[in-house]
């Protein structure tokens, strides 16, 4: 174009080619932006999925630990209940024996 500034046809063809190149470049930039956005969205979704899995794993682990502690507490309470009942039976037996000894006198 610079070599033939006086030739209108060359100038028109040159302008058309430059517009076409600019348009093609803009399309490629838009496509690159679209691909970048899609990749970012996929990365976000992957991170969210990983975080949700970690949260689910933590919940599961916490639930298992709570169930284990609940079972342990129930066992301790059952053991303590049995100890108390044994002491009460021994105390009752001793009272009955004392009452029997008093009536025997």
| Rg of the chain (C-alpha set) | 44
Residue positions counted in the chain: 105
Give 11's pLDDT tier (boundaries 50, 70, 90). confident
Looking at residue 3, its pLDDT comes to 66
Residues 42 and 35: their CA atoms lie apart, in Å, by: 10
Average pLDDT in the 74-102 region? 92
Average pLDDT in the 86-90 region? 95
Phi then psi for residue 4, to 5 deg, are -130, 65
pLDDT tens digit sequence for 14-64: 888 888 888 899 999 999 999 999 999 999 999 999 999 999 999 999 999
Higher pLDDT, 4 or 37: 37
Averaged confidence pLDDT in the chain: 90
State yes or no: pLDDT of 4 exceeds 60. Answer: yes
Q: Which of 9-13, 32-36, 72-76 is the least confident region? A: 9-13
Looking at residue 1, its pLDDT comes to 54
């Amino acid at each position: 174009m610079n070599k033939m500034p006086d030739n209108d046809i060359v100038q028109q063809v040159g302008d058309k080619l430059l517009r076409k190149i600019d348009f093609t470049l803009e399309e490629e930039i838009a496509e690159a932006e679209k691909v970048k956005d899609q990749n970012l969205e996929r990365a976000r979704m992957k991170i969210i999925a990983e975080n949700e899995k970690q949260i689910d794993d933590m919940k599961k682990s916490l639930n298992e630990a709570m169930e284990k502690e609940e079972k342990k507490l129930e066992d301790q309470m059952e053991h303590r209940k049995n100890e108390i009942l044994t002491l009460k039976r021994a105390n009752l037996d001793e009272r009955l024996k004392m009452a029997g000894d008093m009536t025997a006198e």
